[in-house]
Chain A
Amino acid sequence: MKKISIDKMNELFAAIAASKALYMPVCDGKKGAKYAKWSEGTEYSQAANTSRSAKDFFFPQVEDMASFNVNGKEIEVIDTREECEDFVVFGVRACDAKSFDILDSVYLVDPVDSYYANRREHGIIMTMACNKPTDTCFCSTFGIDAANPMGDVSCWTNDNELFLSANTEKGQALLDSISILEDADDNAADDIKASIKTILDKLPLAGLSADGMKEKTLMEVFNSDKWAELSESCLGCGTCTFVCPTCQCYDIRDYDTGHGVMRYRCWDSCMYSDFTLCAHGNTRTTQLQRFRQRFMHKLVYYPENNGGVFGCVGCGRCLRSCPISMNIVKVMKTLEG
């Protein structure tokens, strides 16, 4: 384990940023916190979490896939991909770090999504333990420990010091490259972990369990009569989907640039009415069906396909941003109740 005095955080950031782009949460006033690129003067925010998730770094809302030159009957396909530069994301919370595993199991299985893989290979994740978890947090429901976040490097902080521990070769290489770090005992962060643990146990959603979902069969959950009341006031917007760190569905569209065609992909939402719209009709015509799809995916389909791992990390963003305050916690409690 390594450490550095809190007073020298800025020097640490400067050392990292000297060779790689460095991103971290910064305060955004009433708007919460957001990830921004560090430059001299940037102030790191210890906010509970950012309003938008960290998935943006690997799976951006919009990205170009390929472009086409169309000339009469002829088509030329142009591979617009470029190897991305190394970058570091500092201050990722345990929940978001876990969300990368979930995205990995979609995008990095054969056939590998090269766009995602490219960013993943070049991104170094420095996580930060949550000293002040908040009411909307429920990562422990999914076996995530906010006191021991994963990622390439795990960090802990108190009023005086920042402790850093590498979990991967990439992380170790990064720490080795920073000369201003001092050595620390391997148990130096234990007090911080213990104090976080006490708070985690007191969180209002601390007792929330998803195990009940596993006791039911796929069809039992699908056919539950609770979906009607749960989805009744759903607006069918994409807020939950877009702030969610694990929502991974996308659309592929073509855009006429005036001198060619750019094929891009962008986030899509199963909450949208045209998500499953085909030339021959639509397989999900009601908001009940679309709402059910989103939660079935997180709580049943994804676990079914991925060894029982749930497709939610309990970051609580949807609890904060749903316009009608309907969310996965209410869904789980109602389905099990």
Chain B
Amino acid sequence: MREETLIPKVGVVTDIRQDTPDVKTFRVVGLDGKKVFEHIPGQCAMLSVPGVGEGMFSITSSPTNTEFMEFSIKKCGCLTSWLHMMEVGQQITIRGPYGNGFPVESSLKGKDLLFIAGGIGLAPLRSVINYVRDKKDNYGSVHIIYGSRSMDDLVDYKEIIDEWCNDPSVKVDLTIDRPQEGWDGHVGFIPSFVEELSPDLSRTVLICGPPIMIKFTLDGLKKLGFQESQVYTTMELRMKCAIGKCGRCNIGNKYVCKDGPVFRFDQLAELPDEY
């Protein structure tokens, strides 16, 4: 009988990192200790706990990581609560990769990039950021604007400070919503921070975060003079099959799981705003 993508493989959780009070990053490999499959930055995988449910998660690690995959997951529903209770050594099921991913080998090549992320929205972008950092020659400079509710809610704070901030080709600007003891960085919401920083208009923008942050940031970018066609985002809707068949994650005639999750805003502008 032919291969069936809907039947998952077994993955083993080999490391669990508490990133923020409600975000953990899980390291997953196959039963053979190797990566379960290869992927493109921005692509997703379906993770499941049999008996609890299955869900789509973006692969947070870069494809350049040859040893394992990572998933940064925020605890917000039934399945994610279960995942957060896991201990190292726990097996889960995994299938993928799904979705189009970011066009790292085409449209993004040679471009100066601007990443704008809010909260857990950093998860899908982290894969691209690290991919681009590992293949510096192929891309221009990198500017990252990242914000969260508080210092404690900045995902991957350690990696940001230790690695990204020390990378001469990367410029990092961080912000938190409200003042906090021990924080001497910028305070304020991302949309206004972006306008304040007034990034270079030649940059290609990759943005991910809560819908309301994306909406206002996009408005701000447009005000600054950015075109919708130079801004990419990645979407998340309810999914069951992840292969464009179960019929629920559509925005107009596009399926987020198959035609997305990465869309350019000029593409989204032609579709109903059911997201």
Where the two chains meet, the residues of A that have a C-beta atom closer than 8 Å to any C-beta of B are: 65-66, 68, 70, 73-77, 79, 81, 83, 106-107, 111-115, 117-118, 218-219, 222, 248-252, 254, 256, 261, 263, 265, 268, 270, 275-280, 283-284, 289, 293, 296-297, 300-302, 304-305
Find chain A residues with CB under 8 A from B89 CB: 73
For the complex, is B10 an interface residue (Cβ under 8 Å from A)?
yes
- Distance A92 CA – B210 CA, assembled complex (angstroms): 49
Find chain A residues with CB under 8 A from B271 CB: 218-219
Interface range, B side: 35 or more
For the complex, is B245 an interface residue (Cβ under 8 Å from A)?
yes
Q: Are A249 and B248 in contact (CB under 8 A)?
A: yes
For the complex, is B182 an interface residue (Cβ under 8 Å from A)?
no
Q: How far is the CB of B148 from chain A (nearest CB, A)?
A: 16
- Distance A115 CA – B5 CA, assembled complex (angstroms): 11
The 9 closest A-B pairs by CB, nearest first: A279-B77, A249-B247, A68-B50, A301-B253, A261-B50, A304-B253, A75-B91, A261-B51, A114-B4
The 8 Å CB contact of A283, one of B90, B93, B246, B275, is B275
Find chain B residues with CB under 8 A from A115 CB: 4
Q: Are A222 and B91 in contact (CB under 8 A)?
A: no
Q: Are B90 and A222 in contact (CB under 8 A)?
A: no
- Distance A34 CA – B78 CA, assembled complex (angstroms): 40
Task: With CB as the reference atom, state the residue of chain A lying closest to B246.
Answer: A250
Interface 1/0 per residue, B232-274 and A, CB below 8 Å: 0000111011011111111011000000000000000011101
The 8 Å CB contact of B241, one of A218, A252, A279, is A252
Interface 1/0 per residue, B72-93 and A, CB below 8 Å: 0000111110000001011111
Q: Are B9 and A276 in contact (CB under 8 A)?
A: no
Query: Can you give 11 A-B contacts (C-beta < 8 A)?
Result: A68-B51, A112-B2, A219-B270, A219-B272, A252-B240, A254-B52, A256-B51, A261-B50, A268-B240, A279-B78, A301-B253
Q: How far is the CB of B15 from chain A (nearest CB, A)?
A: 15
Known: A70-B50, A73-B90, A254-B50. A301 touches B252 (CB 8 A): yes
The 8 Å CB contact of A77, one of B76, B93, B248, is B93
Find chain B residues with CB under 8 A from A283 CB: 237-238, 274-275
